[in-house]
A and B are shown apart, each in its own frame.
Chain A
């Protein structure tokens, strides 16, 4: 129990720049070191987390906590992941008016931003490695990559949900309409 809380407090402490960077941390701690969930399961949760409201970090924490120790576990992990940033933000909002103008903090953050990019890339590479080596998933991943990159570069106001929805529908359509052809050969 304490282990759950402390592990997620650690993750909460080092999650900069949104949920995707946290996938790398969860992979490292919860999949590779503690074996609480498998890489495949993490992939399932990530997808579910993206399709339900709320930050991915919170969703993953709640899921893993619930799976390990039921409701109490879920409560502890969620608390653990929120607590560090709560304390930090609360202190900043009370005492540091000009937080971002402190030179060394700005510099440190410049460095962290680059590390976050690397971590996100690493998480993506691990996901791609787990993917079945077939034409359809490869095509979907490539299309999603291009579309998302275009959305980011041209700052289009399209949510990643739209991409996920499309991919899900395409895959479902292939399943529904691709099957009779195979069935006919039986």
Chain B
């Protein structure tokens, strides 16, 4: 029964997908290939599509695989299954959070986790800008991504100085899509 298989397959993904989207891709790959839902090439293509559409990659992949295997009901079931574990865990954590957070040992651990998290996020942002903005093409720095990076960066951070609060992240994403079409289309 394909629907049942999809449900349990993606429930497994949802339960064990620690450490963000890229950690979960390996897990999804294992499960999707072992059930024989997709071949390697199709999976690579789906990962690329999931990355270039909004929403968490894991959820996008679940929807995509579910839909390709069993249409609308398949995609609904796969998506629900992948979201369910984290939904339940967070409900549980939230209910316990108030008492647990007051514990001095937990607080000591959190004091270490927070700066670590900030460092990780900083590195991720830094790396993404490095990777997407400074592209080498035949050993020459290509101009378009660099131009786009400088333009968008200057605009986003510059607007803070001009207008209180600056521009919203949503506006930046819309503008960047538009700028991408213009800059790369020319």
Residue B34 CB within 8 A of the other chain: no
Residue A116 CB within 8 A of the other chain: yes
Partner among A55, A81, A92 whose Cβ is within 8 Å of the Cβ of B49: A92
**Which residues 115-138 in B have Cβ within 8 Å of A in the complex?**
115-129, 131-133
Residue A111 CB within 8 A of the other chain: yes
Which B residues are in CB contact (< 8 Å) with A12? 54-55
Residue B36 CB within 8 A of the other chain: no
Residue of A nearest to B52 (CB): A109
Do A117 and B56 touch (CB < 8 A)? no
* A107/B185 contact (C-beta < 8 A), A63-B94, A127-B117 known: yes
What bracket does the count of chain A residues touching chain B fall in? 35 or more
Partner among A24, A122, A164 whose Cβ is within 8 Å of the Cβ of B113: A164
**Which residues 22-64 in B have Cβ within 8 Å of A in the complex?**
22-24, 45, 48-60, 63-64
Complex: A118 Cα to B19 Cα, angstroms: 21
Residue A1 CB within 8 A of the other chain: no
Complex: A99 Cα to B53 Cα, angstroms: 10
Report the minimum CB–CB distance from A19 to chain B (whole Å): 6
- Other A-B contacts than A53-B18, A89-B55, A131-B118, 10 sampled, CB-CB below 8 A, are A25-B169, A44-B101, A57-B56, A89-B64, A107-B181, A118-B125, A144-B119, A161-B18, A167-B115, A169-B112
Complex: A107 Cα to B184 Cα, angstroms: 6
* A43/B114 contact (C-beta < 8 A), A110-B145, A117-B128 known: yes
Partner among B19, B23, B67, B133 whose Cβ is within 8 Å of the Cβ of A89: B67
Q: Which 7 A-B pairs have the closest CB atoms?
A: A111-B180, A54-B86, A85-B55, A171-B112, A144-B119, A167-B116, A120-B125
Residue B143 CB within 8 A of the other chain: no
Do A121 and B118 touch (CB < 8 A)? no
Which B residues are in CB contact (< 8 Å) with A117? 125, 128-129, 131-133, 149
Report the minimum CB–CB distance from B76 to chain A (whole Å): 8
Residue A30 CB within 8 A of the other chain: no
Do B117 and A148 touch (CB < 8 A)? no
Do A88 and B57 touch (CB < 8 A)? no
* A93/B75 contact (C-beta < 8 A), A44-B101, A161-B19 known: yes
Do A18 and B57 touch (CB < 8 A)? yes
Do B72 and A43 touch (CB < 8 A)? no
Encode A113-144 as 1/0 by CB contact (under 8 A) with B: 11111111111110110010000111011111
Complex: A141 Cα to B113 Cα, angstroms: 9
Which interface residue of A56, A57, A160, A176 has the most chain B CB atoms within 10 A?
A: A160
Which A residues are in CB contact (< 8 Å) with B128? 17, 113, 116-117, 120
Residue A5 CB within 8 A of the other chain: no
